[in-house]
């Protein structure tokens, strides 16, 4: 049985295969520098694209299967959804990025992320590498969690005759996405209620983000649309701080109340998007299996 048949007849087996490939990519290369993070993420993104293309050859040239309840309003609905999601998501990312940068430069209270000797601006080469990492991360995470896991769960639930398979599949993949974002947090280095609240907030934030991305993929049928949204959010939310320090910032498990406040506000940004995503996925027809 080839990959297209596996993807069609045994979607959860394809999910397991893609997950193993991802784990292998991140295990093969350590990530103790920005350069190695770039290589690691590029490898994972490349493997995911190859796997997706092998399983669904037209994935890069045509749209994914697009479940739509009202085909007559496809173009209008897709455009409105993209503008709505992109507007709020990019505003969210810009807010996080600016506040994080202000905290680093000492313009805001908080010591966990401040640079004692003042900001050290990253060289252009490092900024280019940072942008490449953001793109590769968007390709990898959207390819795996939305292109494979969310759609795989949806197809498996549909085959069992379950109700709202697109919605349930999106919830399941978003939960996994959220948990994995804090699974390796260095909790042992910190203590206190603020850290616990940060970990919870970060999990909720990532879960809502993943849920929204699943809805956008279901609604638009375009993997590159969700990659663009994901990449743009990462650049806006981490770019200002990286430009000042040359290091990828972390705003959770720091014990800093400012970081916690930023996370909570970011969650608030995502709530209306999640509500809209729920409506999209509730009315979406189940994806068809080739």
The DSSP result for 53-112, as a single string, is: HHHSTTTTTSPPP---S-GGGHHHHHHHHHHHHHHHHHHHHHHHHHHHHHHHTTSSS-ST
CA angle 149, 47, 125 (to 5 degrees): 115
Q: What is the pTM of this model?
A: 0.88
With contact defined as beta carbons under 8 Å apart, do 231 and 289 qualify?
A: no
Q: In this structure, what DSSP letter does residue 33 have?
A: S
Query: In this predicted structure, what is the pLDDT of residue 114?
Result: 43
Domains held by the chain: number: 1
Query: In this predicted structure, what is the pLDDT of residue 187?
Result: 58
In a domain, 89, yes or no: yes
In a domain, 64, yes or no: yes
How far is the C-alpha of 196 from the C-alpha of 245, rounded, in Å? 26
Domain containing 171: what range?
A: 3-283
Query: In this predicted structure, what is the pLDDT of residue 68?
Result: 40
Query: In this predicted structure, what is the pLDDT of residue 116?
Result: 42
In a domain, 290, yes or no: no
Query: In this predicted structure, what is the pLDDT of residue 201?
Result: 94
In a domain, 151, yes or no: yes
How far is the C-alpha of 179 from the C-alpha of 111, rounded, in Å? 27
Stretches where the chain sits below pLDDT 50 are 64-65, 67-73, 109-117, 286-290
109 class by beta-carbon count within 10 Å (0-12 exposed, 13-18 middle, 19+ buried): exposed
């Amino acid at each position: 049985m080839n990959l297209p048949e596996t993807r069609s007849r045994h979607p959860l087996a394809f999910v397991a295969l893609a997950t193993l490939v991802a784990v292998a990519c991140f295990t093969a290369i350590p990530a103790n520098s920005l350069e190695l993070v770039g290589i690691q993420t590029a490898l994972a993104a490349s493997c995911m694209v190859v796997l997706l293309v092998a399983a669904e050859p037209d994935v890069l040239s045509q749209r994914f299967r697009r479940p739509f309840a009202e085909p007559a309003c496809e173009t209008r609905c897709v455009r409105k959804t993209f503008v709505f999601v992109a507007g709020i998501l990019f505003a969210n990312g810009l807010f996080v990025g600016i506040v994080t940068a202000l905290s680093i430069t000492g313009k805001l209270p908080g010591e966990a992320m401040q640079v004692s000797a003042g900001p050290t601006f990253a060289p252009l080469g490092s900024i280019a590498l940072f942008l490449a990492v953001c793109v590769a991360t968007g390709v990898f995470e959207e390819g795996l969690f939305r292109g494979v896991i969310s759609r795989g769960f949806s197809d498996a639930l549909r085959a069992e005759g379950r109700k709202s398979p697109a919605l349930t599949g999106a919830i399941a993949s978003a939960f996994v996405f959220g948990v994995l974002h804090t699974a390796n947090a260095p909790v042992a280095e910190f203590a206190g209620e603020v850290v616990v609240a940060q970990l919870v907030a970060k999990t909720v934030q990532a879960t809502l983000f993943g849920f929204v991305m699943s809805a956008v993929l279901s609604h638009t049928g375009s993997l590159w649309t969700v990659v663009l949204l994901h990449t743009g959010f990462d650049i806006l939310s981490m770019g200002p701080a990286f430009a000042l320090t040359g290091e990828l910032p972390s705003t959770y498990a720091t014990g800093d109340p400012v970081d916690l406040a930023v996370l909570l506000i970011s969650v608030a940004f995502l709530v209306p998007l999640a509500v809209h995503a729920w409506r999209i996925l509730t009315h979406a027809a189940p994806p068809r299996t080739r």
